[in-house]
A and B are shown apart, each in its own frame.
Chain A
Amino acid sequence: MVRPLRAALLAATAALIAATLSARAEPAPADPDPKDPDPRNWPAVLAEARGQTVYWHAWGGDPTVNAYIDWAGTAVSARFGVTVKHVKLSDTAEAVSRVLGEKAAGRDAGGAVDLIWINGENFAAMKAADLLFGPWAEALPNWRFTDPQANAALTQDFTVPTEGLEAPWSMAQVVFYHDSARLPDPPRSMAALGEWVAAHPGRFTFPQPPDFLGATFLKQALYGLSDNPAALALPEEASDYAAVTAPLWAWLDAATPNLWRSGRAYPQNGPAQRQLMADAEIDLAISFSPSEASAAIAAQELPDTVRSFVMEGGSIANASFVAIPYNASAKAGAMVLADFLLSPEAQARKQDPRVWGMQTVLNVAALPDDARAAFAALPQGAATLPPEALGPTLPEPHPTWMVRLEDDWAARYGAGR
């Protein structure tokens, strides 16, 4: 009775498995395709881009950011005839996962992703798995306004050389913010933070690693506590990992029982942590954007008594980028969009705290006069530190540190003690 149906199902399953198998039999060609656009011939790129639709996969969790992306898309459409569709991700890795899925399925052209907002371990993973198109970024016309000599973060993404596989579009730097109404004088070093946490149990937390901001807190803390910060520039295998990180674990062992919810629960990301500040559940928080506090005050998310501060001894800074997958459908359009994002006009608008408030990747001093004036005219929020008060910047540690720190943190504090 059952047999015909079962046989049909078996046959269908077998056919599908066979389809998967055959996809593997033809490995993806890694060589550059002669049909791909060449950024050195920019007029040809512009011509090819006209009429294309660029699916830009970018984190969609912040209405402010979404509005900026919307503006950029409208501008690129009006000027270059490139339609931009913002694919709103809740996690950038979804785009990585998608490109990987396509490669697994043998879809080596006509992919779903044209441009990804990316950096750090997502970039390292895509580069290692040969999932990126390029090099192209350093041939963009607006690249000339950057100064990679002075700003190494533009060509070293978490110490991994970008090699022109991604174009920078934002600078970020670690700052902390506090509510001056509840906490007038915040602790400005890791040691002081440790003492403050012990004295004020339940009033501090950080996003749960492997959230990137939580992992950034671990790295920032490691910089502030380690005797040997130079080791962080190299892969962790090259140094005595246990010795370098011992002060961090000692600090966390002491602090964790006095964290928010006694360290038994954590906010899941930066915005969730910001909500805890808004709800007065915590008194200070880490951020990767010097203007986050001002923007949140303007959006009525935080009270206007919130102020920013930085840790003594320097703060981690990095750049975030846009990259094009190897199988993107609209590579020319994606390059045109990336070049527009790098333009002084788009960069100045992005740095405007009323719009978004992210720092530019351009070398403002070397810009033409009118562009320089546009940057100089930008207002600054009350909760944003002036550039000279942001203190020294620290480079991102090698990605291997982040992976190992996340794993060890999860084993020690994250997986059911």
Chain B
Amino acid sequence: MIDGAALAAAPAPRARRPRLLPWAPLVTLALLIGPVAAGLAGTLAPAFGWLPGLEAAPGLSAPGLWPWRDLLAWPGLTAAARLSVTTGLLSTALSLALALSICAAWQGTRAFAAIERALSPLLSVPHAAAAFGLAFLIAPSGWIARAFSPWATGWTTPPDLLITQDPWGLSLTAALVMKETPFLLLMTLAALAQTDAQRARLTAQTMGYGRMTAWLKVVAPRVYPQIRLPVYAVLAYAMSVVDVAMILGPTTPRPLAAQVALWIADPDLALRFRAAAGAILQLLLVLGALGLWRLGEIAGARLCVAWSCAGGRGLHDGPARGAALTAAGLIAGAAALGLAGLALWSVAGLWTFPNALPDALSLRVWRAQAGGLIGAGGETALIGAAATLIALTLTLACLEAEHRHGVRPSTRALWLLYLPLIAPQVAFLFGLQTLAAAVGLDGSRAAVIAAHAVFVTPYVFLSLADPFRAWDARLDLVARSLGAGPDRVLWAVRLPMLLRPCLTAAAVGFAVSVGQYLPTLLIGGGRVATLTTEAVALASGGDRRVIGAFALMQMVAPFAGFALALAIPALVHRNRRGLRHGP
């Protein structure tokens, strides 16, 4: 938590202007938490039987516990809740295990650089696009089956196998692992930069430990606390994801969040109450699973201590290292093939089973959609740029306040920063939509930008905080001794030096903004059409050609952001060799 007392009494006689900077962290947190809290309030009310505006519909406005009774009476509840918990826990555990094993097995090698290069582009692939790609790959009528049919399998029609939409949520879990492993890997890498991992591992290895064992015993315990919040965000996201669950998840019944999203959209207004109760239940499930995960952490820590004390050297880690490399290759390969499949569909004419390639090629979809793609692309870029600018400004203000005034967020403040990522979107966006309409803010581009900023800021903060703090403060001292004031130091020394991490953080934020679906739809009132809202609307039409075209555009937008983040520093720093690879 921000140290409120220190804030109130922040002594700074140097200040010549009204001091706004020390308040930056508090303002930022309020801007992030306000909408979430307000949205939750707007969901809690109907969960207890009260939704203003429904007076005209008879029998629907009596406060009470009846929405909960209605929810409990829904026959699929147990299975839906179980699915949410199992797919969430399983995909998070697998992603974390994979990310850590890949680091343990290969960090510091050339293979690791290759893995990093292969997996990091996956970060900018929207979840829905990755899910569509995977679905086309592994379905019984998908690309893999087509490649082996009919010559190897004898199939002239697809086999009736339950692969996607399986009742255990395994294909859903696979898609989540495919997306979250790269995220956790990059988060681990960022944390590793702070831990002197290389030398610690080497020291352990000189004591006779195997490479993986050394990393897991001496580096992992230092890294995990730093990636704990991202892990929790992954768990919360995986439990309450809607779009991926709609594409790959089971439907009889669906995972709870997907079912709640359908209830919200049902014309039967009575279902809004059940949806609200379900959304609150989803929130409770996420909190419960986080608690469970915390207990697992404690138990895991005990086990690891015992394991470390036992002193096993674990020298024969060849197979484990191979497995980690294979897993990384599988993830990158599945993603690449899935996206290539989508790209091919976007130019396909008729493409029947079991042909591995389209029967005919056609640019019809691209021609027909060109206008829509350009319009939605422009809107996406504008909203993403504005939301990112807000997020970057808030983040820099917070970090500069920390630097100048020592207003340093504690772990608990970081928790609050993560709140928009941890609270399930279905739990607060419906309430937020109602409130935005109440103050007349919905349906405007500005409101959408503000809503995006809520989700973009945490990511920008997380990307930028460590490089910003790692900046050598002695440079500040030198500049100040040469007569520069704190503002001049910021603008003339610090920001130019930190241009690269700033732009990387901006690119991450932009990618997050591009991927936002529910906030854009609900707050934008459907009037604000971005690539993602158009893609999801067209995806409801099920034509893989159109889905492919929009999914590609959805990927191109964040890619462009990342490319700029690489190109601009290279250009600006072309005469500054020492800055080319970051400060």
Which residue of the partner chain, among B38, B54, B164, B529, contacts A13 with CB atoms under 8 Å?
Answer: B38
A302 partner residues in chain B, CB cutoff 8 A: 350
Interface 9-mer from B71-79, B216-224, B304-312, B398-406 = B71-79
A1 within 8 A of B: yes
Residues of the B chain whose Cβ atoms lie less than 8 Å from the Cβ of A263: 252
Instruction: Report A267-321 residues with CB < 8 Å from chain B CB.
Output: 267-276, 278-281, 299-303
Q: How far apart are B47's CB and chain A's nearest CB, in angstroms? A: 14
Check B526–A95 contact: CB distance below 8 A.
yes
Contacts of A366 in B (CB 8 A): none
CB of B76 within 8 A of CB of A300, answer no
Residues of A within 8 A of B52 (CB): 20, 23-24, 104-106
- Distance in angstroms from B550 CB to nearest chain A CB is 11
Contact yes or no, A266 B252, CB < 8 A: yes
Q: Are A128 and B527 in contact (CB under 8 A)?
A: no
Q: Is the CB of A274 within 8 A of B38?
A: no
Query: Chain A 406-417, CB within 8 Å of chain B: the 1/0 string?
Result: 000011011111
Least distance between A179 CB and chain B CB atoms (Å): 10
Q: B526 and A98: CB pair below 8 A?
A: yes
Contact pick for A5, options B26, B253, B521, B534, CB 8 Å: B26
Whether B299 is near chain A, meaning CB under 8 Å from some CB there, is no
Q: Is A139 an interface residue (CB 8 A)?
A: no
CB-based contact A104/B51 at 8 Å: yes
- Whether the pair A62, B541 counts as a contact (CB closer than 8 A) is yes
A413 and B252 contact, Cβ closer than 8 Å, known pairs A5-B29, A202-B160: yes
Across the interface, A20 reaches (CB within 8 A) one of B45, B360, B543, namely B45
Residue of A87, A121, A263, A414 most packed against chain B (CB within 10 A): A87
Task: Give the complex CA separation of A355 and B384 in angstroms.
Answer: 35
- Which B residues from 1 to 18 make CB contacts under 8 A with A? 1-5, 7-8
Residue of A nearest to B52 (CB): A24
In the assembled complex, the CB of A293 is this many whole angstroms from the nearest CB of chain B, namely 14
Q: Is the CB of B140 within 8 A of A281?
A: yes
| Chain B window 268-294, contacts with chain A (Cβ cutoff 8 Å), 1 for yes, 0 for no | 110010000000000000000000000
Give the chain A neighbours of B5 by CB distance below 8 A: 1, 4
Q: Give A92 to B266 CA distance when docked, in angstroms.
A: 9
Tell me if A97 and B368 are in contact (CB < 8 A).
no
| Contact in complex: B53, A94 (CB < 8 Å) | no
Which residues of B have CB within 8 Å of A340?
A: none
The answer to whether the Cβ of B357 comes within 8 Å of any Cβ in the partner chain is no
Contact with A104, one of B4, B434, B544 (Cβ below 8 angstroms): B434
Q: Does B363 contact A (CB under 8 A)?
A: no
Q: Are A410 and B76 in contact (CB under 8 A)?
A: yes
Task: Flag whether A226 is at the interface (Cβ < 8 A).
Answer: no
Give B495-551 interface residues, CB cut-off 8 Å to A: 521, 525-527, 529, 533-534, 536-544, 546
Stretch of A53-61, A162-170, A370-378, A389-397 lying at the B interface:
A53-61
Give Cα A110–Cα B1 distance, bound, in whole angstroms: 42
Asked whether A243 is an interface residue with its Cβ less than 8 Å from the other chain, the reply is no
Residue A8 CB within 8 A of the other chain: yes
A19 lies within 8 A of chain B by Cβ: yes
Is A192 an interface position by the 8 A CB rule? no
Interface string of B397-420 (1 = CB under 8 A from A): 000000000000000000000000
Residues of B within 8 A of A278 (CB): 351-352
Does the CB pair B41–A13 fall under 8 Å? yes
Given A5-B29, A23-B438, A271-B543: A101 and B167 within 8 A (CB)?
A: no
Interface centre among B253, B272, B440, B540 (most CB of A within 10 A): B540
Q: Output the least CB separation between B412 and chain A (Å).
A: 8
Cα–Cα distance between A8 and B32 once the two chains are bound (Å): 13
In the assembled complex, A175 has its CB within 8 A of some CB on chain B? no
A250 an interface residue at 8 Å Cβ cutoff? Answer: no
Contact B537 A60 (CB under 8 A): yes
Question: A129 contacts the other chain (Cβ, under 8 Å)?
Answer: yes
Mask, B358-382, CB within 8 Å of A = 1, is 0010101100110010000000000
Chain B min CB distance to A241 (Å): 18
Given A265-B162, A265-B250: A129 in contact with B54 (beta carbons within 8 A): yes
A271 to B538, CA, bound (A): 10
A105's partner among B4, B30, B434, B521 (CB-CB below 8 A) is B434
Q: Is there an interface contact between A265 and B537, defined as CB atoms closer than 8 Å?
A: no
B251 at the interface (CB under 8 A from A): yes
User: What is the CB-to-nearest-CB distance from A196 to chain B, in angstroms, rounded to a whole number?
Assistant: 15
Smallest beta-carbon distance A134→chain B, Å: 15
Which residue from A28, A30, A264, A415 sits with its C-beta under 8 Å from B79? A415
Contacts of A130 in B (CB 8 A): 56
Task: Return chain A residues, CB-CB under 8 Å to B437.
Answer: 101-102, 104-105, 107
**Residue of B at shortest CB range from A95?**
B526
Q: Are A1 and B246 in contact (CB under 8 A)?
A: no
Given A61-B538, A63-B538, A67-B368: A416 in contact with B76 (beta carbons within 8 A): yes
The answer to whether the Cβ of A47 comes within 8 Å of any Cβ in the partner chain is no
Interface: B317 (CB within 8 A): no
Flag if A275 contacts B542 (CB, 8 Å): yes
Check A103–B252 contact: CB distance below 8 A.
no
Q: Are B4 and A417 in contact (CB under 8 A)?
A: no
The one of A5, A8, A63, A106 that contacts B368, using a Cβ cutoff of 8 Å? A63
Which residues does chain B contribute within 8 Å of A129, judged by CB atoms? Answer: 54, 56-57, 269
Chain B residues with CB below 8 A from A88, complex form: 526, 529, 533-534, 537-538
The yes or no answer to B349 lying at the interface (CB within 8 A) is yes
- A20 near B3: Cβ-Cβ < 8 Å: no
The smallest C-beta distance from A411 to any residue of chain B, in angstroms, reads 5
Which residues in B have their C-beta under 8 angstroms from that of A380? none
Closest to B164 in A: A265
**A121-B268 contact in complex given A24-B52, A94-B526, C-beta closer than 8 Å:** yes
Give which listed residue, B4, B525, B546, contacts A112 with CB less than 8 A.
B525
By a CB distance below 8 angstroms, the chain A residues around B51 are: 104
Partner of B251, one of A90, A102, A125, A268: A268
Q: Which residue of B lies closest to A16 (CB)?
A: B38
- Within the assembled complex, what's the spacing in Å between the Cα atoms of A93 and B267? 5
Chain A residues with CB under 8 Å of B45's CB are: 20
Check: A27 CB closer than 8 A to any chain B CB. yes
B198 at interface (Cβ–Cβ under 8 A)? no
Complex interface residues of chain A between 18 and 74 (CB less than 8 A to chain B): 19-20, 23-24, 27-28, 30, 55, 57, 59-63, 66-67
A3-B4, A125-B268 are known; give 8 further A-B pairs, CB within 8 A.
Answer: A23-B52, A24-B52, A61-B537, A105-B434, A280-B352, A281-B157, A301-B543, A416-B252
* Pairs across A and B, CB under 8 Å, 22 listed: A2-B4, A9-B30, A12-B30, A19-B438, A60-B537, A60-B538, A62-B543, A93-B265, A100-B53, A101-B437, A102-B53, A105-B436, A106-B438, A128-B57, A202-B160, A261-B162, A262-B162, A275-B542, A280-B353, A300-B360, A414-B76, A415-B252
For the complex of A and B, 7 pairs with smallest distance between CB atoms? A415-B76, A61-B541, A271-B542, A104-B53, A202-B160, A416-B79, A279-B141
Contact residues of A with B, CB < 8 Å? 1-5, 8-9, 12-13, 16-17, 19-20, 23-24, 27-28, 30, 55, 57, 59-63, 66-67, 85, 87-98, 100-107, 110, 112-113, 120-122, 124-126, 128-130, 182, 201-203, 208, 210, 260-276, 278-281, 299-303, 403, 410-411, 413-417
